Amino acid sequence: MISYEDLAQEVPIIFDDNAVLPTGLKGIFIESSVADMILLNKTIETDTERKCILSEELGHYYLTVGDITDQSKLENQQQELKARQWGYDKLVPLSAIVQAYHARIKGRFELAEYLGVTEEFLQASIDRYFNKYGICTTWNNYIIYFDPLGVAEMFE
C-alpha cells in the first residue's frame, strides 16, 4: 500500500507537514492567488495519521473550490464529502480490500494496519462505501460486503 512518504511526494503544491496550526486543526488546504498549499499540524504523532489527513487535504486540492469552512451550508458539506471520498478511494480502494482478502487479513485492526491507515479512517471509508453502494458491491470477480466486512470470490 502507499506510504506516507510516497503520498507526500505526490503533492503538486507547496506542502508543509510541520506547521503550527490552531488546536484541533490537523490539516488545511489553502487556496490563494499567490500559491496553493497544504499544511499539516506538527502535533500529529504518526505517519499513519499524517497520511490519512494528507489524503483528505489532497482531495480538497483536486476537488473543492473556495472557502468551505462554514459547514452549515449544504454545498460546503458536499464538497467536504467529495474531498474525504477522494482520500478513501486513494488509501482504501476496493482493490486493496480484495488484496487484503487474498493476504488472509482478518478483522478491522489487521486491515487498517495492512492498508497503513488509522482504524477511524478505515471505518469512515467502509461507512462511506456502505452509504454509496449499500450492503455490498462487486469489483471484478468479487463481492465486497460492508456490513459485516467481507469478500466473496465469484466463480464461473
Answer yes or no: is pLDDT of 1 > 90. Answer: no
Q: What is the model's pLDDT at position 123?
A: 97
Mean pLDDT of 120-130: 97
Q: Are 111 and 105 in contact (CB under 8 A)?
A: yes
Q: Which domains does the chain have, with CATH numbers?
A: 1-91 (1.10.10.2910), 93-156 (no CATH)
Per-residue confidence band for 43, with pLDDT thresholds at 50, 70 and 90: very high
How far is 39 from 90, CA to CA, in rounded Å?
19
Mean pLDDT of 66-78: 85
Q: What is the model's pLDDT at position 156?
A: 79
Plot region of 134 (φ>0 → left; ψ -120 to 50 → alpha; else → beta)? left
Answer yes or no: is pLDDT of 65 > 90. Answer: no
Per-residue confidence band for 76, with pLDDT thresholds at 50, 70 and 90: confident
Per-residue confidence band for 136, with pLDDT thresholds at 50, 70 and 90: very high
Q: What is the model's pLDDT at position 118?
A: 97
Answer yes or no: is pLDDT of 67 > 80. Answer: no
